Amino acid sequence: MTERPSLRYGFEAEGLRLEPKNPRAYQEGSLGWLADEPTFYFPDGSAMQTRLTGIVRREDHRWKVVHMHFSVGVPDEEVVELQKRWSGST
């Protein structure tokens, strides 16, 4: 992927740093998919562990992102409480 330096610069310009944990990638023909559990590091020194999945397609000899998803694992009970707080419910 020739855009990696540009992507990295975009994150770092905002003070973010992304460290991979155990990236895995697979390919079948012109399609590929990837997964990892990277950690985002913020300018204040805090960190957030995430999960990442993505789908890529090879077009004109280059891999292009079709879909990418980041998520953060949160216990169900916390999600319910957060949604109540966000909606103004008690």
What are the residue ranges spanned by the domains of the chain?
4-87
Class (C level, CATH) for 4-87: alpha beta
Q: Lowest-confidence range among 7-11, 41-45, 63-67, 77-81?
A: 7-11
Please give the mean pLDDT across all residues of the chain: 87
Counting residues of the chain whose pLDDT is more than 90, the rounded percentage is 52
What CA–CA distance (Å, rounded) separates 55 from 63? 10
Residues 6+ away with beta carbon under 8 Å from 78: none
Burial class, 60, CB count within 10 angstroms (exposed 0-12 / middle 13-18 / buried 19+) = exposed
Counting residues of the chain whose pLDDT is more than 70, the rounded percentage is 86
pTM surpassing 0.75? no
What CA–CA distance (Å, rounded) separates 83 from 74? 12
pLDDT reported for residue 1: 45
